[in-house]
A and B are shown apart, each in its own frame.
Chain A
Amino acid sequence: MLTLLSFLLLAVEQEGGGSLIDVNPGVIFWTVVTFVLLLLILKKFAWKPILIALEQRETAIKESLERAEKANKDAQKVLSENQASLEKADEESKKIISQSRVYAEKLKEQILRESEAEAKKIIENASAEIERKKDAAFDELKTQISEIAIRAAEIILKENLNKEAQIKVLNNYIDQINKN
């Protein structure tokens, strides 16, 4: 409505030798010609190179961003792989340590057991030896005692039945034994 009103006013205003809504065909002709030429010139010399450059730059930026992202991803992957292998190695070493600890424990026990058995065996052997030696000593002692008794008896029998002499002989003999 307001537009229409102002137009009526503008159209009425004719005193200045022309109205605002006078359409001059010459101006239309020149505007169209100029605009079309402008469009053709700018399209060839300005818009095309600028838009191509913009597009190239945009693709370059996009590509480099994608590349960077990919590199980042790769690095992350490598890092996580490293971490994983590190963890694995850690676990492995722990396992090895614990295994060896168990082995050592076993070995220790075994050695202990073996040495204990050995000791026992040695002790047994020793006591058996002692027993044997004791038996042997006893046997010898027995034979010696019996020999001594026989010899004493011999000597007693050799001497006449002199009591005093007998006692004297016996004492001598016993002294002899003691000396032996």
Chain B
Amino acid sequence: MFSNQTANTKALADTISKSGQNNSDPSWIMHHVLDGKTISFEPFGSIHLPEMHFLGMDLSVTKHVFFIWIVAIILVTMAIFSARSYRKSLIPKGFANLFEIMIVFVRDEIVAPSIGNGYQLFLPYLLTLFFFILLSNLLGLIPYTATVTGNIAVTASLAAISFVATQFAGIKQHGAYKYFKNLVPSGMPGWILIIIIPLEILGLFTKPFALSIRLFANMIAGHIVIFSLLGLIFIMHTFYVAPVSVGFALFIEMLEILVAVIQAYIFTMLTALFIGMSMHSEH
């Protein structure tokens, strides 16, 4: 994670300095990784998405929103297709087997050990979360698509949902009063509570904050590194650097596949852990 971010920082700094020297437009990398109102299929043209405003909010369907929907459609299709496979017999066939392996992995390796008793209530949410992030990450590796998990608004939304789920789990388990009372360790002298209470409240929010930043930074970093490496070809105005750039970009792309899976795993795992912690908080 850290090496990724270091590479990210360095690549960006390089790009900026290089672009400054060569007087070229530095915004092309940002254009690729940032959200926008057009979906471009260069050199085949681009689609301009309509703008929508509602109650003073910009609810336009942006590039990332469009790809979130693509992810959702793919996921729904895959899941329902798999679920159909169980209608005839309890033993699924073909693709459903792969899907089942992942479901069982999430259930038995992530959710059940992290939450413990009563994990069934949160299983659908965590499964949806895992597959949504995994598919988003993987879809982002395909050219002409966008990595929606590389948008901090998206990861922040996912983290906010995780935060709500965590609080819900705690309140449902212990009741609102006891849950918030449990946040503060008991047996503390009165004066230390003045420090502890704000800290614990802050602690509630740092968890989802870290979740959102982790996913966002990991996904964006790899893409920026790939673009920076490929950008070297154009910045240096030579084809001789192309094999090196493409080689490294390929390496990073493969690393990204790994990161895509790992980040989906980590996000789900940590959410499950937080839910488990708030359900079984025994101070």
A residues within 8 Å of B by Cβ? 2-3, 5-6, 9-10, 13, 15-18, 20-32, 34-39, 41-43, 45-51, 53-54, 56-57, 60
Our pick among B57, B79, B80, B87 for the contact of A29 (Cβ within 8 Å) is B57
Q: Chain B binding site: helix, strand, loop or mixed by DSSP?
A: helix
Our pick among A3, A13, A23, A35 for the contact of B30 (Cβ within 8 Å) is A13
Q: Find out whether the CB atom of B79 lies under 8 angstroms from the CB atom of A42.
A: yes
Q: A80: shortest Cβ distance to chain B, in Å?
A: 36
Bits for B96-110, please: 1 = Cβ < 8 Å to A, else 0: 000110011001000
Query: Could you tell me the distance between the alpha carbons of A64 and B16 in the complex, rounded to whole angstroms?
Result: 66
Our pick among B6, B75, B156 for the contact of A42 (Cβ within 8 Å) is B75
Query: Could you tell me the distance between the alpha carbons of A23 and B213 in the complex, rounded to whole angstroms?
Result: 12
Query: Could you tell me the distance between the alpha carbons of A121 and B117 in the complex, rounded to whole angstroms?
Result: 101
Q: Find out whether the CB atom of A2 lies under 8 angstroms from the CB atom of B5.
A: yes
Query: Could you tell me the distance between the alpha carbons of A14 and B127 in the complex, rounded to whole angstroms?
Result: 37
Q: Find out whether the CB atom of A23 lies under 8 angstroms from the CB atom of B128.
A: no
Q: Find out whether the CB atom of A35 lies under 8 angstroms from the CB atom of B16.
A: no
Q: Find out whether the CB atom of A31 lies under 8 angstroms from the CB atom of B154.
A: yes
Our pick among A26, A50, A57 for the contact of B62 (Cβ within 8 Å) is A26
B57 neighbours in A (Cβ, 8 Å):
25-26, 29
B176 neighbours in A (Cβ, 8 Å):
none
Q: Which residue of A lies closest to B53 (CB)?
A: A26
Query: Could you tell me the distance between the alpha carbons of A57 and B152 in the complex, rounded to whole angstroms?
Result: 40
Query: Could you tell me the distance between the alpha carbons of A41 and B74 in the complex, rounded to whole angstroms?
Result: 13
Our pick among B35, B128, B213, B220 for the contact of A35 (Cβ within 8 Å) is B128
Q: Find out whether the CB atom of B90 lies under 8 angstroms from the CB atom of A32.
A: no
Q: Find out whether the CB atom of B157 lies under 8 angstroms from the CB atom of A6.
A: no
Query: Could you tell me the distance between the alpha carbons of A47 and B161 in the complex, rounded to whole angstroms?
Result: 19
Q: Find out whether the CB atom of B161 lies under 8 angstroms from the CB atom of A26.
A: no
Q: B216: shortest Cβ distance to chain A, in Å?
A: 8
Query: Could you tell me the distance between the alpha carbons of A16 and B28 in the complex, rounded to whole angstroms?
Result: 8
Q: Find out whether the CB atom of A50 lies under 8 angstroms from the CB atom of B82.
A: yes
B220 neighbours in A (Cβ, 8 Å):
20
Query: Could you tell me the distance between the alpha carbons of A50 and B79 in the complex, rounded to whole angstroms?
Result: 9
Q: B145: shortest Cβ distance to chain A, in Å?
A: 16
Q: Find out whether the CB atom of A43 lies under 8 angstroms from the CB atom of B154.
A: no
Query: Which 6 pairs from chain A and chain B are nearest by CB?
Result: A16-B27, A16-B30, A46-B79, A31-B157, A53-B86, A27-B153
Whether, in the assembled complex, B2 has its beta carbon less than 8 Å from a beta carbon of chain A, the answer is: yes
Whether, in the assembled complex, B171 has its beta carbon less than 8 Å from a beta carbon of chain A, the answer is: no
**Apart from A28-B156, A47-B124, A54-B104, what 11 extra A-B contacts exist at CB < 8 Å?**
A9-B9, A17-B27, A20-B33, A25-B57, A27-B154, A31-B158, A38-B132, A42-B75, A42-B127, A45-B76, A49-B83
Q: Assess A24 versus B30: contact at CB under 8 Å? Given A32-B160, A35-B161.
A: no
Q: Find out whether the CB atom of B90 lies under 8 angstroms from the CB atom of A34.
A: no
Which residue of A2, A35, A46, A49 has the most chain B CB atoms within 10 A of its CB atom? A46
